[in-house]
C-alpha cells in the first residue's frame, strides 16, 4: 500500500504559523489546483486543504504568500470529528512532508509577498556552489 500525493497549486491565503500547546509549529492552508481539461472545456479548480508541521510549516510561512505557486509532497489523511450540531464529519487533508518553489523569482511579484532576491531557494543551486571530491574509491562501488 502506498499513500503519496504530489500537488502544484496557488495558495488561497497567507499561511499562518501556529504553535501547539507543546510548542510544535503547524500551519494549515489550502491551495487551488487546476484539473486537466480538454480543448473547449471549462477549467475546473479544486481547493485542497494542506497541513504542515515543524520545519516544513516554518519554511512555508516564511517564504510563501497568497497567490504564490507552491509544490507539495505528502500523504492524504482523514480526520473524524463531531461538529457543534452533533453531526459526524470527516475531513480529508494532505499532510505535507515537503514543500518546494515552483516559479522563478522573476515570475513572483514582490509587492504581493513573493520571493525576493535574498530568499533561499532549493531550485536556485548552481553547479559552481559545489566542489568535486576525488575520493579514489570509485573502483569499490558495486554499480
Residue 140 burial (CB count, 10 A): 7
pTM for the whole structure? 0.68
Which pLDDT score, from 0 to 100, does residue 119 have?
39
Please provide the CATH number assigned to the domain covering 5-140. Answer: 2.40.50.140
Residues with Cβ < 8 Å from 28, sequence gap 6 or more? Answer: 15, 49, 50, 51, 52, 93
> With 90 as the cut, is the pLDDT of residue 133 above it?
no
Grade residue 41 by pLDDT with cuts at 50, 70 and 90.
confident
Kindly tell me if the per-residue pLDDT of 92 is higher than 90: yes
Q: Are β-strands 45-53 and 69-82 bridged in parallel, bridged antiparallel, or unpaired?
A: unpaired
65: nearest Cα among 94, 101, 97 = 101
| Share above pLDDT 70 across residues of the chain, in percent, rounded to a whole number | 73
Residue 68's Cβ-count burial label (10 Å; 0-12, 13-18, 19+) is buried
- Reference 14, options 116, 113, 109; nearest CA is 113
Q: How confident is the model at residue 140 (pLDDT cuts 50, 70, 90)?
A: low
pLDDT digits (tens, 9 = 90+) for 47-73: 999 999 999 999 999 999 999 999 999
Kindly tell me if the per-residue pLDDT of 130 is higher than 80: no
Amino acid at each position: 500500500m502506498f499513500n503519496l500525493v504530489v500537488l502544484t497549486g496557488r495558495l488561497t491565503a497567507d499561511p499562518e504559523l501556529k504553535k501547539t500547546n507543546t510548542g510544535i509549529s503547524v500551519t494549515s492552508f489550502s491551495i487551488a489546483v487546476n484539473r486537466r481539461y480538454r480543448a473547449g472545456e471549462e477549467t475546473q479548480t479544486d481547493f485542497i486543504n494542506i497541513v504542515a508541521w515543524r520545519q516544513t510549516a516554518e519554511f512555508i510561512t516564511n517564504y510563501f504568500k497568497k497567490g504564490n505557486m507552491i509544490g507539495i509532497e505528502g500523504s492524504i489523511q482523514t480526520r473524524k470529528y463531531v461538529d457543534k450540531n452533533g453531526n459526524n464529519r470527516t475531513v480529508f487533508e494532505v499532510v505535507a512532508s515537503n514543500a518546494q518553489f515552483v516559479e522563478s523569482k522573476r515570475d513572483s511579484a514582490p509587492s504581493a509577498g513573493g520571493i525576493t532576491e535574498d530568499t533561499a531557494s532549493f531550485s536556485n543551486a548552481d553547479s559552481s556552489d559545489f566542489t568535486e571530491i576525488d575520493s579514489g574509491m570509485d573502483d569499490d562501488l558495486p554499480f
